Structure 1
Amino acid sequence: MDLSVMFFGADVGESGHARAYEDVLALAREADRLGFHAVWTPERHFQQVGQVFPSPPVLGAALAVATERIGIRAGSVVLPLHHPLRVAEDWAVVDNLSHGRVGLSVATGWHSADFVVRPEAYEDRRARLLRDVPVLRRAWAGEEVELPDGTGALTSVRTQPRPVRERLPLWLTTSGSPATWETAGRLRAGVLGAVVGQTREELADKIARYRAACAGAPEQGGTDAHGRVTLMTHAYVGADEAEVVRLVAAPLKAYLRSYVRQTSANRTADRRTAELSGEQTALMAEFAFRRYLRWGSLLGSPESCRKMLADLCELGVDEVACFIDFGLGRDTVMAGLRRLAALRKDV
């Protein structure tokens, strides 16, 4: 099982956005030095949560030249917001800059505000993603793609530059729906999900569904018949449990509260979420934090995190993407990364 790092930070605070990018680059360089498998960055727009991540390929290009070995991953590209040929072009640049280290997870998107840049794509965003994945794969592989040009006439084009690798490492992002896990399998794509929000038994069932769908799917320029399961989880490995609670509680609960506020701002969200009081939101954050400590996160001592990694490995997880930028300072995150790296040999 591989260990990667993932960025998805919330409010940058008084330090500002420039310092946030410096932190991302510094932490990615350290993860590269420590031997982590990949670094994942998201796509977010107009929100507090993830506010420094509106353009994964731009940041990916910076990460490509700042690191030497670590994989450069988008987690995720909101595919309905973009033309698939532009996605192929942008990430082929990053693939060349990184000498073939690119991988993409694509998502339908969910927040209505994100789609102010392409409102016509919101309602049928799932259908658009399923339509565009084959186009993206063909363009990446160097095939000609026939589409209407500015006059409406069909024109065959081939994207440039050519990527280093002809086969695009591709994942499908899921918020937890078993149907999305099965869709990823049928696409012969990896699946990118989260550990939290489900029981161990539910996770085992989704992995089994995914493996079966992948095994039964035809070859289509994607993963092999086994597939690849990548799961995100909050991560900070402390010296002991008491240190972790002391350091993590306040920033993680603040992050969780900001996430609830973002969810409530979605036009299609359950109105009950929008009507939560500040006290109710704080109680939800406290409940989620305590749940994370019990199962589903890498928040704990080296021994407890070693056990969690072993459990995920037993479930059949191929890669754990460790979410590290949820409010801790750079030096604290660095120390946690080094302790986590020490556990890599066990998984």
Structure 2
Amino acid sequence: MDLSVMFFGADSTTAGQTSHEQTYEDILTVAREADRLGFHALWTPERHFQQVGQVFPSPPVLGAALAVATERIGIRAGSVVLPLHHPLKVAEDWAVVDNLSHGRVGLSVATGWHSTDFTLAPGTYADRRARTMDTVPALRSLWAGESAEYPDGTGRPVSVVTQPRPVQDTLPLWITTSGNPETWEAAGRLRCGVLGATVGQSRDELADKIDRYRAACSAAPDQRGTDAHGRVTLMAHTYVGADDAEVRRLAAAPLKSYLASYLRQTAANRTADAGTAALTEEKTAMLAEFAFERYLSWGSLLGSPGHCAKMLADLAELGVDEIACFIDFGLGRDDVLTGLRRLAELAELKEALR
């Protein structure tokens, strides 16, 4: 099982002030260290106009910086919110990053979910799921260098081929899912990988979704995608401490603060259900506390090396191919780097014992 690094939070607010310049420096520092330690890939999200994820409005721009700052580690978008962008622009931008990285690019595409994000493309919100799934074949075709017809400035169709040409002939693609089993199956039918998360589901629910995905992928025809086995990548909150007590001491406050911010963001979505939209600060704090305690018991890499080794073995048994370790939920840079080094040591030990 591969271990990657997922940037997803990076809330750089300190005492009411933002220091985004320092946040980007921290991201580059962590990326270089992950590259040196042998991690598989770096994942960056796409977020707009939110407190959570405030430094991630443009995955290809940040991906270009990561490409030139590293040497061998994969550069992944986790995710490109596909309905917000023209497929021609997605293919062009990421072909640049593929060239800068010498062929290390991979994309997970998402439907998007927060209504405020779609300020950028309000007309695509209602049918965002269908748009995403329908665009995947077109994106693969554009990446492969095939021409496509789109209306030009006069409204008449024109045949275009995107430039520059990427290094990779085939674009590694994932579909991002928040947990809907239908999305897992759709990813399988498209022969894409699936990018999910351990959060919000039990072990049995996750096992069922992986089984559904594998069956759909196996039954699907080849589509310039992954093989019949597919690829399951799961995001998991990660900090490997010296012991469980250290993890609780260091991670509790920042992770619960992050979770509360995420819940407030969810409540601000105009399509949120009435219960979520009406969350009080007290209920938000209670839910964050509950989620933190659950993460410590299952579904995260928060704990001692021994605890994390057991979790990795359990996820591998379920059929997970890659863990995208979510590390920037509020810990300081030095603690993040220390946790990554412990995780790398754990991975090396497991490999040596095979």
Tell me if 1:6 matches 2:9: no
Displacement, 1:152? 2.1
d(CA) in 2 for partners of 1:7, 1:27: 10
Q: Is the 8 A contact 1:10 1:255 kept in 2?
A: no
Within 5 Å, give how 1:1-347 maps onto structure 2. 1-14=1-14, 16-345=19-348, 346=350
Higher mean alpha-carbon deviation, 11-20 vs 34-43, is at 11-20
Bigger mean CA offset, 8-17 vs 55-64: 8-17
Number of residue pairs the alignment of both structures matches: 347
- Deviation of 1:147 after TM superposition, in Å, equals 1.7
CA distance in 2, matches of 1:201, 1:41: 28
Question: Residue by residue, what CA displacement relative to the aligned partner does 1:119-145 show, whole Å, maximum 9, x if unpaired?
Answer: 000000011112211111100001111
Whole-Å separation in 1 of the counterparts to 2:172 and 2:347: 23
CA distance in 1, matches of 2:86, 2:346: 40
Q: Is the 8 A contact 2:31 2:42 kept in 1?
A: yes
Q: Distance in 1 between matches of 2:10 and 2:22?
A: 14
Distance in 2 separating the partners of 1:53 and 1:215: 34
Q: Is the 8 A contact 2:10 2:23 kept in 1?
A: no
CA contact (8 A) 1:189 1:227 kept: yes
Check whether the contact 1:234–1:297 (CA below 8 A) recurs between aligned residues.
yes
SS at match of 2:310: helix
TM-score by length of 1: 0.99
**Per-residue deviation, 1:273:** 1.4
Contact 1:7-1:324 within 8 A present in 2 as well:
yes
User: How far does residue 276 in structure 1 lie from its aligned partner after superposition?
Assistant: 1.6
What is the CA–CA distance in structure 2 between the aligned matches of 1:210 and 1:185, rounded to whole Å? 5
Identity score, percent: 76
3-state SS, counterpart of residue 230 of structure 1: strand
Q: TM-score, normalised by structure 2?
A: 0.97
Q: Decide whether the 8 Å contact of 1:10 with 1:48 is kept in 2.
A: no
Contact 1:44 1:51 (C-alpha < 8 Å) held by counterparts: yes
Amino acid at match of 1:232: M
**Structure 2 unmatched runs, 5+:** none
SS of 1:164's partner is coil
In structure 2, what is the Cα distance between the partners aligned to 1:170 and 1:344? 25
8 Å CA contact 1:78–1:106 kept in 2: the answer is: yes
Distance 1:273 1:153 in 2: 45
Separation in 2, partners of 1:117, 1:165: 30
Distance in 2 (alpha carbons) for counterparts of 1:64 and 1:162: 17
Question: 1-side partners of 2:220 and 2:37: how far apart?
Answer: 36
Unaligned runs of 5+ in 1: none
Q: State the distance in 1 between where 2:150 and 2:280 align.
A: 50
Give the aligned residue type for 1:58.
V
| Separation in structure 2 between the aligned mates of residue 268 and residue 324 of structure 1, nearest angstrom | 29
Give the aligned residue type for 1:107: A
Deviation at 1:337, TM superposition (A): 0.3
Q: Deviations over 1:238-277 (max 9, x none)?
A: 0000000000000000000000000000000012112122
Deviation per CA, 1:52-74: give whole Å up to 9, x if none: 00000000000000000000000
Contact 1:74–1:103 at 8 Å: present in 2 too? yes
1:150 to partner: Cα distance: 1.7
- State the 1:155 CA deviation: 1.3
CA distance in 1 between counterparts of 2:138 and 2:108 reads 15
Q: Which amino acid aligns with 1:55?
A: S
SS in 2 for 1:272: helix
Q: Give the drift of 1:10.
A: 4.6
Cα distance in 2, alignment partners of residues 246 and 11 from structure 1? 20
Separation in 1, partners of 2:156, 2:218:
39
